[in-house]
Amino acid sequence: MKLKSLLFIAVALLLSAGTNAKKAKPVTSGNPILPEFHADPEVLFSHQTGKFYIYSTTDGVRGWGGYYFTVFSSDDLTNWKHEGIMLDLGTSQVAWANGNAWAPCIEEKRQADGSYKYYFYYSGHDIAKDRKSIGVAVANSPTGPFVDLGRPLVDERPEGAHGGQQIDVDVFTDPVSGKSYLYWGNGYMAGAELNDDMVSLKPGTTTVMTPRGGSLRDYQFREGPYVFYRGGKYYFLWSVDDTGSPNYHVAYGTSTSPLGPIEVARDPIVLIQDPKQEIYGPAHNSVLKIPGRDEWYIVYHRINKDYLYPTPNGPGFHRQVCIDRMEFNADGTIRRVQPTHKGVAPVKKINRKKY
């Protein structure tokens, strides 16, 4: 009798364990995904290494005064490793700028011999002109070492643009033509084709393409352009309102050309605050497509809830990097993203040899 009882208890425990295992919640990244304060994140999948990388503004410094860029890597979008400082505007590594290391982007380019080069674009405080300009540094690895061009790539406001700074740069390679483009702007949006060297602009291609109209409630352009291609359309995302505002959010439009004109979406808001969850100012984003799959993610920053206006202890420069899924409707429009504290589940392994 005792033996039967023991067997019954053992079977019951095994069944219970199996039931609990089925109910176990999947591991997710959690938001924010990076430690401390970072902003303006750029996400990259490297075909050379098979890893994901995030580059960002180093935040938490009064007056947005960070002077170096770091890089984090991940195998699955949930666990991130700090790879160190990859470009330092406070040293001789960058001769023309001395601070305000803001809003970077990066492009991986496969060379004719099968190797890879990485072109890292960023804005910094131009010493000679005492204002913001855009530079570029190049490396053979996504973590560096990076060698700066030694001078700004963009240091003048384009003709037709009024006000704003030369900041918030984005780079995009058109899968249709193979051409690469640079976008930037604060107060205006500009775009230009890059030459094959990726460190100079093709003369005569610079275009002011600021989306017209809108308000702070919906799509009025402020800064942070980001471009990607899907289903025959070029998608343009940008940030609305001030970076320190809880209302800072992402809007979008589309075009049939990498240099516009942009048609603002009928429902233009992609991502916006959720006060019930204490999520504020989610914007200045980049977008990630998983190679070989129609699987998309949006990487963005939000304001730490303890540093909202009108607090005097650092509103606007205590931001944190987050990630959430981004999905599309059948007609190609972007579904509004629900910002979460949960983040995303680990991404399935990518066979990079196929791409």
| Catalytic sites, residue numbers | 40, 223
Instruction: Answer yes or no: are the C-beta atoms of 52 and 74 closer than 8 Å.
Output: yes
Q: What does the alpha-carbon distance between residue 213 and residue 26 come to, in Å, rounded to a whole number?
A: 43
CA distance 153 to 122: 10
Give the three-class secondary structure for 305: helix
Is the distance from CB of 195 to CB of 201 less than 8 angstroms? yes
Residue 108's CB is within 10 A of a number of other CB atoms, namely 17
Note every long-range contact of 25-29, with CB atoms under 8 Å and residues 24 or more positions apart, other chains counting: 26/345, 27/78, 27/345, 27/346, 28/78, 28/342, 28/343, 28/344, 28/345, 29/77, 29/78, 29/79, 29/323, 29/343, 29/344, 29/345, 29/346
Q: What size, in residues, is the chain?
A: 355
Conformational region of residue 150, where left means phi above 0, alpha means psi within -120 to 50, and beta covers everything else: left
